[in-house]
């Protein structure tokens, strides 16, 4: 009996409840929830990719990835780990992080840049904040250099305005026109801002075959003198690379600003 009264009460109350949630209030409630969702970034970032998603990159996770996925390349591993994790954990870097990876074809330059991107953005190379340019694909015609320059600069500017922690990867740098490299150079320097945009949190990764022969020569010298490949130090490669990159007419402009990073030939 008690049960049926309760049931009747519910049935009678139901229309009241339905009337209480009339369209306007329902609309307002939904708008409220939506505003809260959008204005509370951490909540929003649970469902969508965010620029600030990983303000603190996990050094351990990056190290684990490099150790487990990348074969050899002890110099590149060490420098990338320190440079990337140090840069991301610095709340106020004075200039963007610029990495220059050199080596023969198939030594893992693109592979490493993918690992870096994935450790900063879950989407990796597919992230809206990671931009890959391939010199021969995106800038093929020398006659269009002026147009490419304008497009590239406004692309960099637009994307860094939208997300300070943008990543730009330039592949085949040794085949890139020197004029285009000049167009990138201002963004790599110690400017608080350029025309109101700060580039200090951005990351630029340059990939090239420039210097590959010299890297092999150094590796061969070590092998001939009976030394372990792991004994090769960054300074052994730096000199070799700066000489050969300087001799490459496209790359030498970058030497002024790029914090050179060596990825030795697949040892
Ligand atoms: N050191 C490495 N450790 C593990 N896998 C590697 C390594 N180097 C290359 N690979 C494998 O070979 C593939 C091709 O390498 P990758 O595209 O990174 O070469 P690259 O250095 O960019 O060459 P290129 O100068 O021709 O562009 C990678 O996707 C990866 O699977
Ligand atoms: Mg490549």
108 and 240: one domain? yes
Q: Which atom of ligand 1 is nearest to the CA of 112?
A: 18
Which residues line ligand 1 at a C-beta cut-off of 6 Å? Answer: 70-73, 103, 105-111, 209, 266
Q: Per the structure, how many domains does the chain have?
A: 2
Task: Clarify whether residues 24 and 104 are in a common domain.
Answer: no
Q: What is the pLDDT of residues 156-210, one digit of tens each?
A: 999 999 999 999 999 998 888 888 988 999 999 888 889 899 999 999 999 988 7
Measuring from atom 24 of ligand 1, which residue has the nearest CA?
105
pLDDT confidence tier of residue 258, bands split at 50, 70 and 90: very low
Query: Looking up tokens 């009976």, which residue turns up?
Result: 226
Say whether both 39 and 69 belong to one domain.
no
Smallest CA separation from ligand 1 atom 8, residue: 108
- 155 alpha carbon to ligand 1 midpoint, in Å? 27
CA distance 137 to 140: 6
Residue-wise pLDDT tens digits, 96-110: 999 888 888 888 899
Q: Supply the DSSP symbol for 197.
A: B
Q: Which domain holds residue 79?
A: 59-256
Within this chain, do residues 216 and 191 fall inside the same structural domain, yes or no?
yes
Strand boundaries in 77-151, DSSP class E: 97-102, 130-134
Distance CA 108, CA 207 (A): 10
Judge if 33 and 152 occupy the same domain.
no
233 or 162: which leads in pLDDT: 162
Give the pLDDT score at 41: 55
b/e 173-197 (16+ beta carbons within 10 angstroms → b): bbbbbeebbebbeebbeebeeeeeb
Residue-level pLDDT at 254: 43
CATH number of domain containing 220: 3.40.50.300
Strands 203-208 and 97-102: parallel
Distance CA 66, CA 201 (A): 23
Lowest pLDDT segment from 43-52, 74-83, 210-219 = 210-219
Q: Which of 66, 107, 124 to mutate to test the pocket of ligand 1 (most atoms within 8 A of CB)?
A: 107
Ligand nearest to the CA of 208: 1
pLDDT band at 256 (very low <50, low <70, confident <90, very high): very low
Q: Are residues 204 and 130 in the same domain?
A: yes
- 29 plus 125 within the same structural domain: no
Domain for residue 231, yes or no? yes
- Is the domain of 145 the same as that of 221? yes
Query: In this predicted structure, what is the pLDDT of residue 29?
Result: 58
Ligand 2 centre to CA of 256 (Å) is: 23
54 within some domain: no
Q: Is residue 212's pLDDT more than 90? A: no
Cα of 173 to ligand 2 centre, how many Å? Answer: 10
Q: pLDDT: is 165 or 19 the higher one?
A: 165
Q: Are 113 and 21 within one domain?
A: no
Ion ligand 2: residues, CB within 5 A, are: 110
Q: Which ligand 1 atom is the nearest neighbour of the CA of 266?
A: 1
What is the distance in A from the centroid of ligand 1 to the CA of 113?
Answer: 10
Q: Taking residues 218-236, report their average pLDDT.
A: 74
250 inside domain = yes
Residue 262 covered by a domain: no
pTM, 2 dp: 0.78
Report the percentage of the chain scoring pLDDT > 70.
69
Mean per-residue pLDDT, 234-256: 56
DSSP letter assigned to residue 130 = E
pLDDT (tens digit per residue) in 144-156: 999 999 999 999 9
């Amino acid at each position: 009996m008690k049960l049926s009264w309760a049931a009747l009460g519910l049935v009678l109350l139901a229309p009241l409840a339905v009337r209480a949630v009339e369209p306007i209030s329902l609309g307002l409630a939904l708008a409220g929830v939506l505003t809260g969702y959008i204005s509370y970034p951490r909540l929003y970032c649970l469902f969508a990719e965010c620029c600030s998603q990983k303000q603190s990159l996990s050094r351990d996770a990056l190290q684990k990835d490099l150790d487990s996925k990348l074969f050899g390349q002890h110099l590149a591993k060490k420098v990338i780990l320190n440079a990337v994790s140090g840069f991301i954990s610095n709340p106020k870097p004075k200039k963007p992080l610029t990495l220059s990876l050199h080596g023969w074809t198939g030594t893992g330059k693109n592979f490493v840049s993918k690992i870096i991107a994935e450790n900063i953005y879950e989407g990796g190379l597919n992230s809206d904040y990671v931009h890959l340019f391939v010199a021969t694909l995106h800038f093929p015609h020398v006659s269009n250099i002026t147009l490419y320059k304008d497009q590239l600069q406004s692309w960099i500017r637009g994307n860094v305005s939208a997300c300070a922690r943008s990543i730009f990867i330039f592949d085949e740098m040794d085949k890139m026109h020197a004029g285009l490299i000049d167009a990138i150079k201002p963004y790599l320097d110690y400017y608080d801002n350029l025309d109101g945009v700060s580039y200090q949190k951005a990351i630029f990764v340059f990939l090239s075959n420039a210097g590959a022969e010299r890297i092999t020569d150094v590796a061969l010298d070590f092998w001939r003198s009976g030394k372990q490949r792991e004994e090769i130090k960054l300074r052994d490669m730096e000199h070799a690379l700066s000489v050969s990159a300087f001799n490459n007419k496209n790359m030498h402009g970058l030497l002024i600003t790029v914090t050179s990073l060596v990825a030795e030939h697949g040892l």
